[in-house]
Structures are given as C-alpha cells and as structure tokens.
Structure 1
Amino acid sequence: MITRRGMMAGLLAGAALPVWAEGIDRSPRPMPRPAGGKGAAASAGGAVKDAEALVAAAKLGGSVGFIVLDAATGAVLEARDAAKALPPASVAKTVTSLFALERLGAGHRYATRVLATGPVEAGTLRGDLVLLGGGDPTLQTDQLGDLVARLAKAGLKRVEGRFLAADGALPRMEAIAEDQPVQVGYNPALCGLNLNFNRVYFEWKKAGGDWAVSMDARGERFVPAVDLARMQVVRRETPLFTYKRNRDHEDWTVASGALGKGGSRWLPVRQPGLYTAEVFQTLARAQGIALPAPEMVAAAPAGTEIGRVESDALPEVLREMLKFSTNITAECNGLAASGADSLAASGAAMTDWVDRTFGVTARFVDHSGLGGASRISAQDMAAILLAAHRQGRGLKPILRDVGMKDDKGAVIKGHPVKVVAKSGTLNFVSALAGHISPPGGREMIFAIFTGDPARRDAVPVAAREHPEGVEAWIKRSRRLQGQLISRWAGVWG
C-alpha cells in the first residue's frame, strides 16, 4: 500500500518516475500495410483500427492534434486537428535550438573567465580578482575546481583587493516560471553566472531522534559545502518545503514527516551568481588561495584574463539539452540569442523570428516550454521541422534517437525503424515531434500534441510536482504516440 508519507518521501527524493521519462513510453512494432488501405491500421488483436479509434481508446480528454508529412514532398499523409494550437512543452526546445544556431552560430562557445585588475607579485594579486560569467548554462563544479587548480599551479596565493563576481551577461531572474512548486529543480533561477544547472544537493540521514542534513555543490571529484542554501527540519507533515530568500542566504525548511531514514535530492538556488562565487571561493581555499567574501556586480572592470573555462561548441550543448531536456540550458541559449532583457521579451523575439523565418504563427513565452501559455499547432511545428530539414539547419543530427519500445516500455534492440524526436511533458500535456525513418522507405516528419490545458491549470501550484492522475494520463498519451508512429511506419514506410 502506498501511504501518504511514502508518496511525500518519493517526491522529496525527486525520483525519476517513469511518467517523466523522455521518449515514447509504449510502442508496438510497425506492422505491414493492412488490407484496409491507408486509412486503417491493425491493432494488437488483429482488428483494423484507424487513427480515430486509437485516439478514442486513449481516453485523454482535452485535445489531440497530429500531422505526418512526407519529408521529400511535404505532402500531408495524415492529420487530425492539426491546426489546433496547444502547449508544446519541451518540444519548444527544438525551436530554441534553431533560433540559437542561427543567431549565435555553430561555433559559439560560452566562456567563464577569471580576470585580474593588477599584477600578481610573489603569489599576491595586487588588485581585484573577477569571476566573469558568460552565460554558460552547463558549467559544473568539477570544471570550476580544475580552473582553480590551474590558478594555484600558476602561483596565485592571495588577493589584495576584492573578489568580484560579474553575472550581467544575461538578465537575472529568480525562476523560469512563477507557477511551479518552490522545490522543483527544473525551475531554477538564472543569470550570466550559473553552476550545476543552478541547483544545490540536499542530503539527509537519520541521526538518533533527529536528522543530519547537508547542502553541497557536488561534482564527481569536488564536493564543496554550501552555506548560501540552509536547511532546517521542521516537525510537520505539510507543506513539504518552504523557502525564504534573504540578502546573502536562502532558508529552506522541510517536513520531518517526509524524511524517513535518509535520502537526497537537488533543490533550486535563487541567487546563482552568489552560489557560483561561494563555490569558487571554497574551492580556492581548499587549494591554498585565500579570497575575500564575494561581491556581486553586473559588469566586470577591465582586467587581464588569467584563466577560463569554455563550454562545448553550441551543437553539442544543444544536443545535451535536447537529450536531457534541461530547462536552464534552453533559457540561457534563447536569451543569449535574442539579447533581450527579460524572458517575456526574449520569448516574443523568438516568436517574431519563427514568423519571419518559417511563416507560421505561434506564441512562445519562454525557450524551454515550461511556461504553460506557449502555443503552437502540430501543423506549424511540422512545417518548422520540414523547412529546417530542407534548409540543412542542423537540427535533425542533434535530435535524440527515442527508439521504438515494446508494451513493457523496453527498447526493441535492432528495430528497423529509426525515430529521432523531441518529447515534451507538462501536467496533462504531452508532445512529440521529429522524424521517422523506415529502412528503405520514405522519411516522414511528424508532430503529435495532446493536452488538456484547463485540467493542468486547475491543479494547485503546491501540487504540481506530481498531481493526482497525471501519471496515468501521460502514459496513455505516450502509448498513443507510439501507436500512431507504428501506424505511420507500417502504412507509409
């Protein structure tokens, strides 16, 4: 029996529940062309079912819109409510990828730099040390630790002046979306200086009649403790978490009723520039470099570069973003591409770019798809993918191979049909769009949007990490997606 405490503990642990996994959840093998012709597909029991029967069997409510195109000719092979605009969820990241590739270029790399405003003499910097963020959404603790190690090896021991952290490369914002629970790690703050996807690692262990808790910024080789984010266990059942931001630290409380014997999860930080600077200072101290307390600035003073960390080239950054669906990576790329001073303005800039570039009408309120107010239709999403494919914009090579799966959700190894796509999930919203490539057959481009926005909006904010009924709904939606892809591959492949 699943108890209320057990459910809370699961939420606290931040477990990767199957419903939130990316890709097609359940999908039968493509079947041979049915005797009924292009308007029918065979079910598992052998009966002929068309797309409408599959949609009806899914019992999703809300709206289901889809379209599949011949990639060579652009001809519509099958469509249903394809003009209906629905939330794209993380499928919006495909558009963000195209936007960033055009505006920033495939050779773009984000750089986090260390500047010195004076000379280093006998191990002492006679001036300020500046940690200058370049908007890198992928910077990790181990990279920062290696950067500090290079500075120590070069002989730096102490700083006579200030330790400045400059985060103005991107606008500061405390969260991507305002309608999410406070504890969800997929909705962090962002700015021009980011670390660990702007999350802190919270761990707890039962210690007698109490709990021992810790907060750190762990990597694989460095595990610096974090003082910015502080946790207090409070004897209560609900709410699961509370959060309060202060000038120089962030106070969390957690319900004791959810802790059990021990566990861990990542929590968002709301002052990412200060978080990154504190971790840098801690890593420096561990390697013999004494730094004063960090001071946050928007713009860096002029100085000489004495160290840097660069991200991978943009296509690889985007490939990882599409694979793991990291929201902060999408937002940083979109903001860097637009140069806008707010997320709303940046989403509007991408909306205008889509209209001018592809001639379709959409609305993007952000670049990750986390905002539920974004809208695009299946036919417009497919039109973007088709144009990008024909124009060689570099999207298809970085899409993830989502595979074909059996009825237990396992990947069918060696399956002849290749599906590369981006999936997206919000509460009572599920989307999938990409390419179907049967062996020796015609390539297809598709978009499938299912959503019940009214039901999503009715969920209280505090319950949006895992509301009642959403897991079963998402599973049914993903099963429908797999059935449709199977049908199309079998009939037109």
Structure 2
Amino acid sequence: MTEDPATRVSRRFVLSGLAACGAGAAWAEAPLSSPRPVARAGLAGAPANAAVAADLIAAARLTGDVGYVVADAATGEVLEARGGDRPMPPASTAKVITSLYALAHLGAAHRFTTRLIATGPVSGGRVEGDLVLAGGGDPELSTDDLGDMVAALAAAGVREVSGRFLVWGGALPYLEAIDVSQPDWLGYNPAVSGLNLNFNRVNFVWKREGSGYNVGMDARAARFAPEVHSATVKVADRSGPIYTYQNGGSVEEWTVARAALGKEGSRWLPVRRPDLYAGDVFHTLARAQGVALAEPEVATAMPTGTVVAQRESRELVTILRDMMKYSTNMTAEAVGMAASLRRGASSHVASGREMAAWLGAEAGTTTARFADHSGLAGASRISAADMVQVLVRLGRGAGIQGLMKPVKFKDSKGRRVANPPVKAVAKTGTLNFVSTLAGYVTAPGERELAFAIFTGDIARRDAVPEAQRERPEGSRAWIGRSRRLQQDLIERWAAVYSA
C-alpha cells in the first residue's frame, strides 16, 4: 500500500509539538505499510492550550488520571495536550492498533478457512478413514456455519465415517482465557484457539419448574440451536458465589447459585475448550442430517487428506469493522495472533511483544506495551500521544475512520442529539474505572482533528475484589462522568480549532 503524503508527519515535528504542550513523549504505534514516513523539517508545534480544558476536567470530578492529546489530522500539529506522555491502559482502543497490525500482515482481503478433511477415500457414502473438522482461526465461525458444512457433507453423499471424528484447533496457539485476572464466568473473556465457535461462548438457559429449575446449555445461532454436551450446568443450594467452574477435560462443568436465578433467563458463558465445543455441536448437527460420527477427539497435529467441504470467512476488513463496532475481544485476539504468526510468534504472550516490537521498528514506539490484542488486560499501556500518532500517521492512510463508529452526542439530560453540529468517529474503551476514546473530529470548516482521551483510576481498579469485578460499586458513575468529559472536550476542540 502506498503512503498518503498527508500522513508523512515527522517524528521531530510531533515531538516538538508535544514539548510545547508539556507532553514530551516519544510517539508510538505502527504504520499500515512497512516504509517509514518521510521526515519533514522546519515545522513547529502549537503553543500550550491545556488550561482551556481545566474547568471541564474539574467539573468531571474524576479520581485518578486524565490524559489527552488533540492534533491536526492532516499535518500532525499538536494543538493541545495534557498528560499526553503518560502510559495508561488503552482498554478497547487497543483494537485500533490490532486492526492496523492485522491489515498490515494479513491484508484487507484475507479470509479464514475452516475445512472438513477426509483422511481416506470416500466410497459408497462412507469415509474410509477419519473425518477432521480443521479450524483456520476464523473468529466468526457460528453454529449456522457448521450446519451449512454438515449440509454440504451430506449433499456429497457422505453418511458415515469408518474412523474417528477429529477436531483440530492448532492453526492458532491455544489461550485458556484472554485475561486470567477476570472472573471465570465473563462471556467476553473466553478461550482462543484455531477452532472457535460462537465467539467461544455457550448459552446457559434456565426456567423455574415447580420447586426446581430446568437448566441446560445450547449453541444457538440464527437458524440452529443444538443442545450442548461438552458443557454442563447444575443448580447449587447456596447464596454465593454465583458461579463455579471446573474444566473436567472433555466436559466443562458449571454450577450456579439457586439464589441468583429468577423465574427464567439465559446468559452467555465462556468456553475454555473451543475445539471440543465445535466438535460437539458439529456432531449433533451431523446426526440430525443422517451423518453418523463418533464422539469428537482432539487431533494433536494437522491431518492430511481430501477437503470434502469448507467454509471461508468474510474478508478481514469486514471482520474488523464488526470487531470495532461490537468490541469483540475474541476477534481481536484471533486476528492479532494470526498476524503475529506471520512474524514467527508462537504464543499470545509472544504476540503482544511482537506487536509492540513491530511498532517500535516502524514508528519509534517507546510507550506501547501489550498484554493482549483486545485491551481487556489492564496491564497493557500506551500514551495518548502515541495513540494520536497512530491516527495521524497511519490511520488516515489505512482508512481506519471507516472502521470506527460515529460518536453519539447527548444533551445535558442524557438524551441523544439527533443532528449534532460536530461530527466525530472513534473507538471507545471501558474497563473498571478506566474509560478511553480515540478517533477523529470534523470541526466547522471541515478541519479534521485526531484525538485520544485516556482516563483511569488504576489504584481503584486494582483494589476491586474479584467477586465485584463484573459490576464494582461506583464504576458506572465514574465512567459516566468520564464520557461526559470526553464529549465536552470534543465539542470545545471543534469550536476552538475550527478552520
């Protein structure tokens, strides 16, 4: 990909702008293409203007730190900064970086392929050998997709398999949970492997019947909702904890506190054995279409044979657009790891380091540190200055704006403004007592600004007990005040820095 001349902002220029604003940090993050931007000399940064936002920050009454940088998106001129050099948790704004990283290494048109492989010949409707469900790292594979693959298998005349039914998830390194510090039951913190299904979540359903409950697990999608046998749940007579989890090998075992259940409901729980989960669901769907299979077993190596059916994912750029819209952590981990495999990384820990090293080599990164690719882990760090550097030098040329959501502005009563005078697109990020926003503002006169706003009370976040990490007391109100501050800053910047 050729570089847009408008993105060629020199490191010296950006640093001089930060120094003028009192930020003084090296810029971070990575370009979409490997050639380094051409440096331009003789440019100067803007004078310090951080004082104009002091009243907004005071009104927000946020504990912890507030850091932000806003710059001219075309030239990189830093217009205003406060604490912009301070590394802070990016939360889900890290997905901006992961998107650029994946696009650079895999390409916008890349597709992930899931295959059904017969290790022996097919004769008279019988596979003389094993049948293998082989994942290709697709983060969006669904139960409906497996149903379509079963239909293709049946349409090819296959009715039985003489050997084993194997599942293979080795296309990506296995990760039991994205962030091990999170509670077991959070559906947005599942396992990641080369064979994923339904974002590696299983649907727990319950309904009161008499003095007890009818409970179960299913893998519902739009067209299919098969019962799941690789995960079970039992109701326990206790007040807490709400959930317990045990990996029983071939079966994941959950219990739920009776006191936490109402009349009926459902909840997505994370899956820790996605390969067996996918095999379980495929097995059930196959049986429904008259294809007899043995119980799924895990293949330790990629088997060879004939592809009898396959499913290709959507193009990577479309996957990334939905990842940014819905902030799906598992998608970020899968595409980030797939990108790092191109660079020789063999684990998720190594992949985070590799992504940071790539940023250092391509953009002179000094503050970026990634514990994952989704931003879920609170240990990840990047400065607001570095994030804006990404948006200025890399994001515009990569069309990252098209992957971001419009910012929804609200009035003083919390009602959405239908036609706001300011247009902005951005990626949000939220953790307990952490709220971040990074993107672009189109100010009056069509001047485009790039910005990053990072707020976080790290000490308060770290002090939350595990049992309260899903909804800690005070976090929702804190995040609400942070989001109000973010909107106020954007509106003021649009007024002050219009063309």
| Cα deviation code 1:19-38 (max 9, x no counterpart) | xxxxxxxxxxxxxxxxxxx9
- Give 5+ residue unaligned stretches, structure 2: 1-47
Q: Which residues of 2 match residues 10-29 of structure 1 at below 5 A?
A: none
State the match for 2:43 in structure 1.
none
Q: State how far apart, in whole Å, the 1-side matches of 2:414 and 2:373 are.
A: 29
How far residue 50 of structure 1 moved from its aligned partner, in angstroms, is: 3.2
Q: Report SS of the residue matched to 1:200.
A: strand
Partner residue in 1 for 2:382: 376
Q: Does 1:463 align with 2:465?
A: no
The residue that corresponds to 1:352 in the other structure is 357
Q: Is the 8 A contact 1:116 1:130 kept in 2?
A: yes
Deviation at 1:414?
A: 2.9
User: Where does 1:32-47 land on structure 2 (aligned, <5 Å)?
Assistant: none
Q: 1:145 to 1:417 in 2, by over 3 A?
A: same
Does the 8 Å CA contact 2:117/2:132 hold for their aligned counterparts? yes
TM-score (norm 1): 0.89
Helix, strand or coil at the partner of 1:225: coil
Q: CA deviation at 1:88?
A: 0.3
What's 2:453 paired with?
448
**Using the alignment, how far apart are the partners of 2:414 and 2:149 within structure 1?**
42
Alpha-carbon distance, 1:67 to partner:
0.8
- Of the candidates 366, 371, 377, which is equivalent to residue 372 of structure 2? 366
Structure 2 residue matching 1:450: 3-state secondary structure: strand
Corresponding residue number in structure 1 for 2:266:
264
> 1: distance between equivalents of 2:347 and 2:412?
44
Matched with 1:330 is 332
- Structure 1 equivalent of residue 141 of structure 2: 139
> What residue in structure 1 maps to residue 173 of structure 2?
171
| Further displaced range: 370-379 or 431-440 | 431-440
Work out whether 1:58 is the aligned partner of 2:60: yes
**Secondary structure at the residue paired with 1:92?**
helix
* 2:487 is the alignment partner of 1:482: yes
After superposition, the C-alpha distances for 1:28-83 in whole angstroms (9 at most, x for unaligned) are: xxxxxxxxxx969xxxxxxxx93111111111111000011011221111111111
Mean CA deviation greater in 89-98 or 414-423: 414-423
Alignment of 1:62-461 (within 5 A): 62-339=64-341, 340-361=345-366, 362-389=368-395, 392-461=397-466
Encode CA deviations 1:449-468: one digit per residue, 9 max, x unaligned.
00011111111122111111
- Whether the aligned pair in 2 keeps the contact of 1:245 and 1:251 (CA below 8 Å) is yes
Tell me, in whole angstroms, the C-alpha distance in 1 between the residues paired with 2:444 and 2:491.
Answer: 14
Count of residue correspondences = 448
Partner SS state of residue 85, structure 1:
coil
Distance 1:72 1:117 in 2: 55
| Distance in 1 of aligned mates of 2:74 and 2:102 | 26
- Measured after TM superposition, the shift of residue 404 of structure 1 is 2.3
Q: For 1:341 and 1:102, how far apart are their aligned partners in 2?
A: 19
Cα distance change of structure 1 residues 492 and 226 upon mapping to structure 2, 3 Å threshold: same
- Distance in 2 (CA, whole Å) between partners of 1:230 and 1:488 is 53
2:25 aligned residue: none
Q: Secondary structure of the residue that 2:447 maps to in structure 1?
A: coil
For the Cα contact (< 8 Å) 1:403–1:420, is it kept in 2?
Answer: no
1:54 to 1:355, Cα distance in 2 relative to 1, 3 A? same
Amino acid at match of 1:223: A
Name the SS of the counterpart of 2:129 in structure 1: coil
Amino acid corresponding to residue 137 of structure 1 in structure 2: P
* Cross-structure match for 2:478: 473
Q: Are the counterparts in 2 of residues 181 and 463 from structure 1 also a CA contact under 8 Å?
A: no
User: Is this contact kept in 2: 1:174–1:189, CA < 8 A?
Assistant: yes
Offset of 1:117 from its aligned partner?
1.4
Distance across 1 between alignment mates of 2:443 and 2:116: 50
d(CA) in 2 for partners of 1:420, 1:487: 16
- Residue pair 1:420, 1:434 contacting (<8 A) in 2 also: yes
Residue deviations 1:242-288 (CA, integer Å, cap 9, x gap): 00111110111101111011111100011010000110111100111
Unaligned runs of 5+ in 1: 1-37, 41-48
**2 CA distance for matches of 1:223 and 1:198?**
15
- What letter corresponds to residue 424 of structure 1 in structure 2? G
Which region of structure 1 is more displaced relative to structure 2, 406-415 or 222-231? 406-415
Confirm or deny: 8 A CA contact 1:180 1:462 kept in the other structure: no
Kindly indicate whether the alpha-carbon contact (under 8 Å) linking 1:125 and 1:158 is maintained by their aligned counterparts in 2.
Answer: yes
Give the equivalent residue in structure 2 for 1:491.
496
Deviation at 1:396, TM superposition (A): 1.9
SS of the aligned residue for 2:491 comes to: helix
Question: 1:11 maps to what in 2?
Answer: none
Rounded to whole Å, the distance in 2 between the matches of 1:249 and 1:319 is 34
For residues 424-482 of structure 1, the C-alpha deviation after alignment (integer angstroms, 9 at most, x for no partner) is 01100110000011353310000000001111111112211111111100101111001
> Percent of aligned positions with the same letter in both sequences?
58
Query: Aligned to 2:380, what secondary structure does the other structure show?
Result: coil
Q: What do residues 359-414 of structure 1 show as CA deviations (whole Å, max 9, x unaligned)? A: 22211111001111111110111011111145x12322211222323334443223
The amino acid across from 1:470 in the alignment is S
* 8 Å contact kept, 1:181–1:464: yes
C-alpha change, 1:97 and 1:389, in structure 2 (3 Å) is: closer
**Distance across 2 between alignment mates of 1:470 and 1:355:** 34
Q: What is the identity, as a one-letter code, of the residue corresponding to 1:348?
A: R
What's the TM-score, normalizing by structure 2?
A: 0.88
Contact 2:241 / 2:257 at 8 angstroms: preserved in 1?
yes
Amino acid at match of 1:356: A
Structure with bigger RCO (C-alpha 8 Å, 6+ apart) = 1
> Which 10-residue stretch deviates more, 147-156 or 406-415?
406-415
RMSD across aligned positions (CA):
1.5
* Aligned-pair CA distance for 1:235: 1.2
CA drift of 1:151 comes to: 1.2
Equivalent pair of 1:403/1:418 in contact (CA under 8 Å): no
8 Å CA contact 1:167, 1:299 repeated in 2: no
